[in-house]
Amino acid sequence: MPHQHRDVKARYPLHVTLRMRDHVWQLRSRRCFQILERAFYRGCHRFGGRVCHFSVQHNHIHLVAEASDARALARSLQGLCIRMAKGLNRLMERKGAVFADRYHARALRTPTEVRRALVYVLGNGRKHLPRVGHTLRPEWRDPYSSAAWFDGWSVPTPLAYLPGPVAFPETWLLSIGYRRVGGLLRADEAPS
């Protein structure tokens, strides 16, 4: 990613994407996901940044995060990525870079953007898995995401266990605003 100024404001949540290098193993495996989940537990609320939702895909990770400013976002994601990289390198018995490039972050400025980002992040498995032959039931929720800890489902699910590997959102847009433009999320909603 080119080094451009990131427009980060405390009132706007962000959709962040982290891409892996080609040599990194399939992230949607139990052994890789355990490392990433441990990193989320330890780093979801540090240095002025908060990871509120996540989705782990084959070779990339989607986050919905909040930060007080660009420096807080950078420090928070840097700490999270270091934890992930060290754990994955230890598992793969390698050294060196794990992430393909700098993170991509996009500010979510309206309730509609936030709702679409939540559907995209929490329903990303629903988009990709049918393409490789998986059949998903309407109530399916991605086990490689923070869907189990999301409290905005139209049909509530018991939380997997508490506390979760995510931070509670503090912005109005991410805690209340998105609910005003389409209501609570349905488990069968998928990104377009």
* Residues 125, 55 contacting (CB under 8 angstroms): yes
DSSP string, 78-116: HHHHHHHHHHHHHHHT--S--BSSS-EEEE--SHHHHHH
pLDDT: which is higher, 125 or 178: 178
Q: Is the pLDDT of residue 65 over 60?
A: yes
* Residues 80, 39 contacting (CB under 8 angstroms): yes
| Domains within the chain, CATH numbers bracketed | 14-181 (3.30.70.1290)
Verdict on whether the full-model pTM lies above 0.95? no
Write down the pLDDT at residue 155: 83
Query: Measured between alpha carbons, how far is 74 from 51 in angstroms, rounded to an integer?
Result: 12
Q: Is the pLDDT of residue 4 over 70?
A: no
Task: List, for residues 42-56, the tens digit of each pLDDT value.
Answer: 988 888 899 999 999
Give the β-pairing of 45-46 and 49-56.
antiparallel
Write down the pLDDT at residue 114: 97
Q: Which residue has the tokens 């490392």?
A: 35
Query: Measured between alpha carbons, how far is 192 from 64 in angstroms, rounded to an integer?
Result: 18
Write down the pLDDT at residue 17: 96
* Residues 125, 56 contacting (CB under 8 angstroms): no
Nearest to 56 by CA among 116, 144, 126: 144
Query: Measured between alpha carbons, how far is 46 from 60 in angstroms, rounded to an integer?
Result: 22
Task: List, for residues 92-140, the tens digit of each pLDDT value.
Answer: 999 999 999 888 999 999 999 999 999 999 988 888 777 777 777 877 8
pLDDT: which is higher, 181 or 7: 181
Give 119: exposed, middle or buried? Use CB within 10 Å, 0-12, 13-18, 19+. Answer: buried
* Maximum Cα interatomic distance, the chain, rounded to a whole number of Å: 48
* Residues 39, 15 contacting (CB under 8 angstroms): no
Task: List, for residues 67-96, the tens digit of each pLDDT value.
Answer: 999 999 999 999 999 999 999 999 999 999
Nearest to 153 by CA among 122, 180, 111: 122
| Confidence band for 3, pLDDT divided at 50, 70 and 90 | low
Three-state secondary-structure class, residue 77: helix
What's the distance, Cα to Cα, between the start and end of the chain in Å? 25
Task: List, for residues 21-43, the tens digit of each pLDDT value.
Answer: 999 999 999 999 999 999 999 98
